[in-house]
Structure 1
Amino acid sequence: MKLTQYLVLGVLALQTNLFLAEKANASYAAFYQETTPPEDSTSKAPENWFHLDKATDNIRGVSSNKAYELLGNKPSRTIVVGVIDSGVDIDHEDLKSVIWTNEKEIAGNGVDDDKNGYVDDVHGWNFIGGKDGKNVDADTYELTREYVRLKKKFDGMKKIRKKDRAEHSYYEEVKKEYERKVTELKDQYNDFQKFAEIYKIANSLIKTQLDKEGEITAEDLEKVNATDEMTKQSKAVLAYALENSITEKYLEEAEEYFNKGLKFGYNTEFDPRSIVGDNYQNLDEKGYGNNDVKGPDPSHGTHVSGIIAADRKNNLGIMGIADNVKIMPVRAVPNGDERDKDIANAIYYAVDNGANIINMSFGKDYSPNKEAVDKAVKYAESKGVLLIHAAGNDGENLDEARNFPTRKLQKSKDEAKNWLEIGASSWGDNTNFVGNFSNYGKSSVDLFAPGVDIYSTTPDQKYENKNGTSMAAPVASGVAALLMSYFPELSAEQVKDIVIKSVVKYSDAEVNKPGGKKGETISFTDLSITGGIVNALEAVKMAQQITTQK
């Protein structure tokens, strides 16, 4: 197809509201929310908006700055927050002073000095690395792993035995879902490629006319003298892109997302587990991995860590929520789905090495070894460790949809009492009140926390905005850590209770429905158990009342 034909195709689709980008952009955003732009692209929140106060600043932050004003010179203790994630850049200028150190371990001597089962774990542990120092970067999705496992068992089986019928039924469900997801992703990628080509042509033409490098802005488009049909069409394409916050960088990230899914996530031939060198079938195995807590791609974990604990006193970059915290990096989340065995061991490691809170900004649709994770969750509960989990980024109702791990225990049917489930709120008006990507649930999500356009630390001394419930969970973890730090007499269960009861409620707010169509609304009270947003100031006030009464 000629280049001009691509442009004609793009404009015709635009005119009929079937623009190829709409499908490509929507599908990409549904799976990779942390780099998607905020819904309200007409304005920008302050970089520190999640610290701000609704009454003073007219922004729905968590009032952390005002909380510290109220605390005054009250003494505090150091709290350890385990960050189970992709890895953490422990040398970042805004994090290096707040990284946990295992004082019982002698760095680099190749000996397990503290006899905890992990050699040279000076700053944490990496459960997806090998003894030779190599690391898992990308991995498959759990859906793919289940499909491969069950396909080996059932394909070619002429007669399904009675004892295998339930598992075979599960296989049929997995197979159907896997095939649907792969077909859907390939179709989306095809649509995306068509739009990306249209955008590339239009962008090049407009840049040439303006003699400009860098991103085209709305102001730039106003200067374009569209006298011929090609220029008019190019201008229309870029105008649509700007309205939907689609940029060159965004398209690069989308390309990376689609390639990751097709090359790794849904690739039945890809299995990097041999790098780790463990007996994967032995769920009780411990001690595997290495001490490289940074890993090949620590962007996600570094961002999460900065939200919780970036140095508040060094006059650099940003300030985290909590001011007397140590971050314990536990690497267990690849570019793909985490594995249950690794998550269970990561929880045990964090608990046994002194974590008071564990932040878990990850999740997946299938959990074949959920009982192993449940045992670790119950262990954390028995040791008084609070677990804070991101609700996920699929725009789904968790009262109905799956997102693992979960507080619901498979064997006993009970619920873990040390668990908080967090959705993502935003900073705009009611049309941008919550992250459009955020999972929610009136019975399953406890509360919301800032998770849109969150500015925090990224590797190599950098800072970036990211979106996701992955960002909301560490905001809540930071507030919980602040309470534990300044009110040491409170138990983890009491801290959880205060965080829940002290939320700022918006009972009358009709807000954008996550995952809904543009303009579709829902009562904010229907999105979570509390119908509120976490608030450090209100939490401190409540903690003061409780501890004074003792």
Structure 2
Amino acid sequence: MTNRLVITLICAITFYSCSSTKEVTQPSIEQSVDTTQKTVDFSTLETPPKNWHHLDEQQTQFRGISSKLTYETIFQDRSSQKQIIVAVIDGGVDIKHSDLQANIWTNSDEIPNNQKDDDQNGYKDDVNGWNFIGGADGKNVNNDTFEVTRIYARLHPKFADADTTVLSAKAQKKYEYYKKIKKAYAYQINKQQRQYNNISSLEDSKKEAEKILSNYFSGSYTYEDIQAIQPQDKQMAFAKDVMTYVLENDIDSTVIAEQKKQLYEFMKYGYNPDFSPRDIVGDDYDNKTERYYGNNDVIGPDPSHGTHVAGIVGAVRNNGIGMNGVAANVQIMPIRAVPDGDERDKDVANAIRYAVDNGADVINMSFGKSYSPYKKQVDKAIRYANKKGVLMVHAAGNSSENTDQKENYPTDTYGDYFEGSETADLWLSIGASSWKPDSSFVGSFSNYGAERVDLFAPGVDIYSTTPDSKYERNQGTSMAAPVVSGTAALLMSYYPNLTSNQIRSVIMESVKKYPNQDVIIPHKANAEGTLADFDTLSVTGGVVNVYRALQAAEKVSNK
């Protein structure tokens, strides 16, 4: 499943490049600080500036990546030396977006719409990328099941009524795995039902509270009006509690309707073992080594997520509209492999190989899941990308879990998630940081891990491109990963003499650290209060920083 941040309403109350060898003078960050700026009151600020992730903390107090400062100082009199290709493996990208169109990768060896594979790469008319979840007839997969559902559907007929006394040792092992999957599947079904009941209860409570308060105030009322009420009975206390919760959490009828729709679709598609859209693709799904299937529709039925990701990496800079991507002189290669549901291992493996074979320098993967039944195929593709020198950037996930202890795929570890000893060198796993410099500095949804998550990047309230030339704020590690992918592309563009290994090292070693910064540890139950040092939640203990990375790259380049 894509790392889209799924909102869960939980009611707390009882109701329901060719680098120049010339030494570059690096301007001091301290010298560029505007000392006349007013102190930002983060306790009352509801939303950050739209470009907060580009800002420099010393200049603005927002913990961005200092990319704006970098462009205004280090890059003021310099030009990038190489155009970098970033593959965005996702659910689709709106390649016609006015802030992306100029930066979309084009396969110059392919003649558009002639129904031929002109460059003989195995993909007919792949002018702007490829779609591994579409059919040759132009149809596309939109919804798909979750991986736990697919595994359950495969194993249940075999083991539901099995006589366990006659099972071989091998079959017994599979049976034990089936029991684990059955339990996980049942948990998810019950969870969806509980959430639907909670939302329905909240909806009913909201309607009743609105009726009570409208009568009390003889019409409209404000949040302040509600807080001034001194309830004299249970009915008014109920109304005050409900509407206080609703208003403080920005819950309206639209939010409730969207939540109910999402849960309905989860049950209709994601957790429905009888649902399978794979016939749309038309491949031999049992053949996990099959590579040449799909179509050239890189937009797909819902490119919202991928378009937002692409904009963070490489929206056209300084064109007077929308927003700026992190990287300049970049091309976005859209590869569609992620449906609304869990991506399939076969498609992920093929998407990675397509990116490598068609010239990608960086692969952004803002998706993930808890099960990977055909991990060997994905491992082979990751090995291939690693061998070819392609940097892979993966979102750590939005499950509020420690990935040192809980699986999150794909991963840089070949073989077993916990016992595998060999890892890919060119891999970065990214957690999401926030704009608030307090205990909520880590996104409450973000996965973390002192061994599995390499670093953090801005991933809360990120303003970026959405379909039909629009923009909106989104959050998730899906937004943090492209910040790092854009940073890597930027470094590669200005320092093409550096290897991908060197680029990765520069990013890791130049992170901005926050000593003694206590943060709330993300928790699935949304329990607050448990604190940890920020530097214990990732390998580097820091946040990506473009300014520092460029300084480090300059030193490495001049050695």
Secondary structure of 1:541's match? Answer: helix
Paired amino acid for 2:527: K
Q: Which amino acid aligns with 1:307?
A: I
User: In the aligned structure 1, how far is the partner of 2:386 from the partner of 2:225?
Assistant: 56
* Cα deviations by residue, 1:253-276 (Å, 9 ceiling, x for unpaired): 321221122111111111111110
Q: After superposition, what is the alpha-carbon deviation per residue over 1:400-451, rounded to whole angstroms, capped at 9, x for unaligned?
A: 0010001110076300001000000001132320101100001110000000
From 349, 352, 365, the equivalent of 1:347 is 352
Contact between 1:87 and 1:331, CA under 8 Å: does it hold in 2? Answer: yes
More deviation in 434-443 or 194-203? 194-203
Deviates more, 1:166-175 or 1:156-165: 156-165
**Structure 1: distance between partners of 2:332 and 2:222:** 40
2:107 equivalent to 1:112: no
**Corresponding position: 1:482 with 2:490:** yes
Distance 1:20 1:263, change over 3 A: farther
Which has the larger displacement, 418-427 or 163-172? Answer: 163-172
Q: What's the counterpart of residue 92 of structure 1? A: 97
- Per the alignment, residue 455 of structure 1 pairs with 463
Q: What is the correspondence of 1:46-445 to structure 2 with a 5 Å cutoff?
A: 46-68=49-71, 69-76=73-80, 77-158=82-163, 159-203=166-210, 218=223, 221=226, 233-410=238-415, 413-445=421-453
Distance 1:102 1:456 in 2: 25
Which range moves more in the overlay, 131-140 or 220-229?
A: 220-229
Q: Are 1:519 and 2:529 matched, yes or no?
A: yes
CA drift of 1:110 comes to 0.4
* Cα contact 1:348–1:376 (8 A) shared by 2: yes
In structure 1, distance between residues paired with 2:197 and 2:234: 26
The answer to whether the 8 Å contact 1:130/1:288 transfers is yes
Q: Letter of the 1:260 partner, please give it.
A: E
Match of 2:27 in 1: none
Task: Report if aligned partners of 1:210, 1:224 keep a CA contact under 8 Å in 2.
Answer: no
Structure-2 residue corresponding to 1:540: 550
Is residue 503–residue 534 contact of structure 1 (8 Å, CA) maintained in 2?
A: yes
Distance 1:104 1:204, change over 3 A: farther
CA distance in structure 2 between the partners assigned to 1:227 and 1:173 by the alignment: 51
Could you tell me which of 19, 23, 31 is aligned with 2:14?
19
Shift of the alpha carbon at 1:153?
A: 2.3
Instruction: Kindly provide the CA deviation profile for residues 199-254 of structure 1, in whole angstroms up to 9, marking residues without a partner as x.
Output: 24434665796867xxx963575699999976664343121122234333332332
Deviations 1:304-333 (A, max 9, x none): 001111111211011110011110000000
What secondary structure, in the 3-state scheme, does the structure 2 residue paired with 1:432 have? Answer: coil
SS state at 1:404 partner: coil
Q: Paired residue for 2:25?
A: none
Equivalent pairs: percent with the same residue? 50
* Alpha-carbon separation, structure 2, partners of 1:461 and 1:308: 16
Letter in structure 2 aligned against 1:470: S
Give the secondary structure class of the aligned counterpart of 2:335: strand
- Report the 3-state secondary structure (helix = DSSP H, G, I; strand = E; otherwise coil) of the residue aligned with 1:431: coil
The AA in structure 1 aligned to 2:48 is: A
Contact preservation (8 Å) 1:80, 1:354: yes
Q: CA deviation at 1:45?
A: 0.8
How far apart are residue 64 of structure 1 and its match? 0.3
C-alpha change, 1:263 and 1:504, in structure 2 (3 Å) is same
- Equivalent position amino acid for 1:388 in 2: V
Shift of 1:47: 0.8
Any gaps of 5 or more consecutive residues in structure 2?
Answer: 1-9, 17-41
CA contact (8 A) 1:431 1:519 kept: no
Paired residues of 2:402 and 2:449 also in contact (CA < 8 A): yes
Letter paired with 1:107: P
Partners of 2:276 and 2:296 in 1: CA distance = 22
Question: Are 1:206 and 1:224, in contact at CA under 8 Å, matched by a contact in 2?
Answer: no
| Farther-moved stretch of structure 1 (371-380 vs 70-79) | 70-79
Measure, in 2, the Cα distance between the counterparts of 1:52 and 1:393: 24
C-alpha change, 1:108 and 1:236, in structure 2 (3 Å) is same
C-alpha spacing 1:75/1:42, structure 2 compared with 1 (3 Å): closer
What is the aligned counterpart of 2:479 among 449, 471, 474? Answer: 471
Distance (Å, rounded) in 1 between the aligned partners of 2:218 and 2:49: 31
Change (3 A) 1:217 1:101: farther
- What is the deviation of 1:160? 1.5
Q: Which moved more, 1:249-258 or 1:171-180?
A: 249-258
C-alpha RMSD over aligned residues: 2.3
Compared CA separation, residues 294 and 206, structure 1 to 2 (3 A): farther
Structure 2 match to 1:30: none
Against the structure 1 CA distance between its residues 319 and 200, is the aligned structure 2 distance closer, same or farther, given a 3 Å change threshold?
A: farther
The answer to whether the 8 A contact 1:40-1:432 is kept is no
Shift of 1:163: 2.4
SS of the residue 2:89 aligns to: strand
Amino acid at match of 2:76: G
The one-letter code sitting in structure 2 at the alignment partner of 1:527 is: L
Q: Structure 1 residues 309, 243: closer, same or farther in 2, change over 3 A?
A: same
Check 1:233–1:162 CA distance in 2 against 1; reply closer, same or farther (3 A cut). Answer: closer
Residues 430 and 457, structure 2, Cα contact 8 Å, conserved in 1 = yes
Contact 1:365 1:402 in 2 (8 A): yes
Q: CA offset at residue 286 of structure 1?
A: 1.3
2:13/2:241 contact within 8 Å kept? no
- SS for the counterpart of 1:457 is strand
Distance 1:210 1:138 in 2: 46
